[in-house]
Structure 1
């Protein structure tokens, strides 16, 4: 499971890349989505790599993300009580583990697919360079957890 975060804005975006970002539901800066690890999504991530950053997320970070930034329709926060009443899982941590293992999807639970995050504390490094060059764009691997925690 990948966590994908949009880093750059919409000015001067090529149309087919803008369409790819729309398909990923990344319409604004600092929005994040969860995508599965499959070839079609990986191709989309490679196409939009100059505007996003992504990496593998673990269950602990995902449960913190859902608890703090997960929303239901009507902009209602996701709570352990909601998860226990409306799903087969007893709390957010169990739901996060099931999401990582691809047993369930956010839409099945009723949680909105986009997480609206704050800009990261201490800011981005450089929004025009890749992670390998010392910037903020592209594939980060396990380091996406650190960025997500800075943005909660």
Structure 2
């Protein structure tokens, strides 16, 4: 054999070559994951902008959770009226305390009808039989009670705003109030407070003139428990104790 002639390549089976390729690909993937901080470190800005791709099992899990939420909603709606305490006041203040995870579309629709589209938003409502039934159906997602005059006034002064031409306008100009509500004899912010606190004859008009009140996140007060407040949870009727929560979120 000539001195400069190359040595023949050792034979490597196809199975071994495939294993090597898979091993190399896994090593590259692992390196990329560590660089992007997938296992503990913060994600880069570029990575956070890319939406996560859901696996089929995630869709199945979410669907089952939503169906369970619908079953529970129907069960709450079938509670006998004797189990529901009659409201001791005409005025209720309702706060949404849960997000949309595991929420059935019917539950979301009721929350939207109550104008509670965001977590920690609050609205004044008249304690009618229809409203009580709605609150009963979405009980795990809201907490409510009877606000006192002090909190009604402070909520409207601090968080109140009007919706004018689809824009949020602070209630700092009585001219705006008079232009929109003057036909009802309401010309200033004090008149709004009086109408809301006493659930006056134009409560609905005044309430819809104002948008939902966006409250501050209560640090450590809301634990995210869907159980009723009387059973150690966060949801449901707090009665007069809603005022403590309002003071911490206003």
- The TM-score range, normalised by the shorter chain, is 0.7 to 0.9
1:44-63 maps to which residues of 2 (within 5 A)?
Answer: 44-63=134-153
The structure whose residues are more often helix, as a share, is 2
Return the offset for 1:30: 0.4
1:7-26 maps to which residues of 2 (within 5 A)?
Answer: 7-26=97-116
RCO (CA 8 Å, sep 6+): is it higher in 1 or 2? Answer: 1
Q: What are the ranges of 5 or more consecutive residues in structure 2 without an aligned counterpart?
A: 1-90
- Partner of 2:195 in structure 1? 98
Give yes or no for the alignment of 1:132 onto 2:222: no
- Partner of 2:119 in structure 1? 29
- Partner of 2:246 in structure 1? 148
Q: What are the ranges of 5 or more consecutive residues in structure 1 without an aligned counterpart?
A: none
Count of equivalent residues: 152
Normalising by structure 1, report the TM-score: 0.86
Give the RMSD, CA atoms, in angstroms: 2.3
Residues 97 and 224 of structure 2 are in contact (CA less than 8 Å); yes or no, is this contact kept in structure 1? no
Question: Given the superposition, is the C-alpha separation of residues 110 and 80 from structure 1 closer, same or farther in structure 2, using an over 3 Å criterion?
Answer: farther
Task: Work out which of the two has the higher radius of gyration on C-alpha atoms and give 1 or 2.
Answer: 2
Equivalent-residue separation in structure 2 for 1:106 and 1:116 (angstroms): 19
Deviation >2 Å, runs of 4+: 73-76, 79-95, 104-113, 125-129
Question: Given the superposition, is the C-alpha separation of residues 72 and 106 from structure 1 closer, same or farther in structure 2, using an over 3 Å criterion?
Answer: farther
Among 149, 157, 171, which residue is 1:67 paired with? 157
- Partner of 2:53 in structure 1? none
- Partner of 2:211 in structure 1? 113
